[in-house]
Amino acid sequence: MASRRKSDELVATGKVKLNGKMVTELGTTIDPHVDVVEVGGKRVQITDENIYMVLNKPRGVLSTLEDPLERPTIQDLLPEDVKGLFPVGRLDWDSEGMILITNDGDFANRISHPKWGVPKTYLVKVNGQPTDRDLQKLVTGVSIIGGKVSAQEIQKIKRGADKYDWIKITITEGKNRQIRRMFEKINFDVLKLQRVAIGGLSIGKLGKGELKVLNETSLKKLFSYNKEMAKTKTRKPRQKSKKRI
Tens of pLDDT, residues 43-97: 887 766 899 999 999 999 999 999 999 999 999 999 887 888 999 989 999 999 9
Determine, yes or no, domain membership for 73: no
Residues tagged active-site? 92
Per-residue pLDDT, 241:
41
Query: According to DSSP H, which parts of 119-177 are helical?
Result: 132-140
Residue 240 predicted with pLDDT over 60: no
Residue 79 maps to a domain: no
Is 19 a domain residue? yes
In a domain, 28, yes or no: yes
pTM for the complete prediction? 0.75
Distance CA 211, CA 244 (A): 56
pLDDT higher than threshold 60 for residue 210: yes
The pLDDT score that the predictor gives to residue 226 is 55
Could you tell me which of 165, 171, 159 has the C-alpha nearest to residue 130? 165
- Give the CATH number for residue 18: 3.10.290.10
Which of 169, 188, 204 terminates a domain? The answer is: 204
Output the pLDDT for position 5: 76
Does residue 138 belong to any structural domain of this protein?
yes
Which of residues 185, 204, 223 is at a domain's end? 204
| Domain assignment of residue 234, yes or no | no
- Residue 216 has, within 13 A of its CA and on its CB side, a CA count of 0
Question: Rounded to an integer, what distance in angstroms lies between the CA atom of residue 66 and that of residue 80?
Answer: 14
Say what the pLDDT of residue 150 is: 96
Question: Which is more confident, 90 or 162?
Answer: 90
Give domain status of residue 87, yes or no. Answer: no
Q: In what order do the strands lie in the sheet with 16-18?
A: 21-22, 16-18, 37-39, 42-43
Question: How many domains in the chain?
Answer: 2
Q: State the pLDDT at residue 224.
A: 84
Give the range among 17-31, 39-53, 107-121 with minimum mean pLDDT. Answer: 39-53
From 46, 47, 33, 40, select the one nearest 17 (Cα to Cα).
Answer: 40
Domain that holds residue 29: 1-46
Mean pLDDT of 162-166: 88
Residue whose C-alpha is closest to residue 174's, from 120, 136, 223: 120
Mean pLDDT, all residues of the chain = 88
Q: Is residue 160 part of a domain?
A: yes
Decide the pairing of beta strands 96-102 and 190-198. Answer: parallel
What Å distances lie between residue 21 and 18, 39, 116, 218, CA to CA?
5, 11, 34, 41
- The residue type at 52: Y
